[in-house]
Amino acid sequence: MSDNLEPQTYVHGSKLYRKAERSAELRPLLPHYEKWRSASLNIRGRSDEEIVELVSLLNAYKDAVEPVLDARPNSAQEVLQPSILEEFFEYLFCQLDSEFKLALLRRPESGFIDLAFNPRSLSELVSHPAYTIRRKDHDFVIGSCLELTMKVPGSEQAQNDVVVIPAVAIECKRYLERNMLDECSGTAEKVKKATPYCLYFVVAEFLKMDDAAPEMSRIDEIYVLRKQRNSERLAENFIPKPIDASLVVDIYRQVQRHLTRVWWDPQSALTVGKAFNVPR
């Protein structure tokens, strides 16, 4: 097991430093980032109180840098703001290796969703059939990285691929609008077909839609961390509500319970009378 209990990518910091090399406007934000990073890594436990402290550090960092980020041209395309939330989840879940005594993948990744065989001919089907592995990008994944080896029995010609199997997939949005929700619903459907025991969350800061039926989708939960509509940001002298720490605690505990469960145990049908003994 790896003893690395830090984030695996620092996805926001890497983007910020890269863009700051070409932008004098972003360079003053770097000390704020370093302060946030250092303070977050110093919180080693995951009690409710420590998670609340992590969220307090996140709110302080966002308050310091987002006025600058929001004022930049094409700020939505830069994806610097959503990557703050992505890196926050890296901090939030960086202790899981120690908790579960496993070397987990926990970073933004492309998860496996499908495998299709597409040989060009009968001869190729018999000798070394071509195939396509379909993947979907996720903003944050907790899971495992597997190596697949495929070959025809008796043949020495093998094909090797690496796939990521998510146990938890989280999509991070600055705001959630209808087309984003539709995309996430479609992704959830594909993810659940390939990895039925994957917990799939959508996490946004603001809500930007009125009508939808997410309960009909395979999304396990949608969180709106600031409990505000995106339209409120257009108001003069707008002050955003802080990210609600109780919701982040709920996310962590839900993930923790999911990772602790036995997802499939047919023997339980003989003890408790339920084959899927998995409370939701």
Residue 4 — pLDDT band, cuts 50, 70, 90? low
- What does the pLDDT look like over 79-118, one tens digit per residue? 888 899 999 999 999 999 888 888 899 999 999 999 999 9
pLDDT score recorded for residue 3:
53
pLDDT score recorded for residue 275:
67
Q: Determine the Cα–Cα distance for residues 65 and 43; give it in Å rounded to an integer.
A: 22
Q: Determine the Cα–Cα distance for residues 23 and 199; give it in Å rounded to an integer.
A: 38
Residue 239 — pLDDT band, cuts 50, 70, 90? confident
Q: Determine the Cα–Cα distance for residues 16 and 87; give it in Å rounded to an integer.
A: 12
- What does the pLDDT look like over 157-174, one tens digit per residue? 888 999 999 999 999 999
- What does the pLDDT look like over 26-37, one tens digit per residue? 999 999 999 999
Residue 254 — pLDDT band, cuts 50, 70, 90? very high
For residue 216, is pLDDT > 80?
no
pLDDT score recorded for residue 163:
95
pLDDT score recorded for residue 39:
97
pLDDT score recorded for residue 129:
87
Residue found under tokens 């770097």: 30
For residue 278, is pLDDT > 60?
no
Mean of pLDDT values over 124-140: 92
Enter the pTM of the model: 0.89
Terminal alpha carbon distance of the chain:
30
- What does the pLDDT look like over 57-74, one tens digit per residue? 999 999 999 999 988 877
pLDDT score recorded for residue 6:
87
Mean of pLDDT values over 250-267: 89
Mean of pLDDT values over 205-232: 83
Q: What values do phi and psi take at 83, rounded to 5?
A: -70, -20
User: How is the chain split into domains, by residue range?
Assistant: 11-263
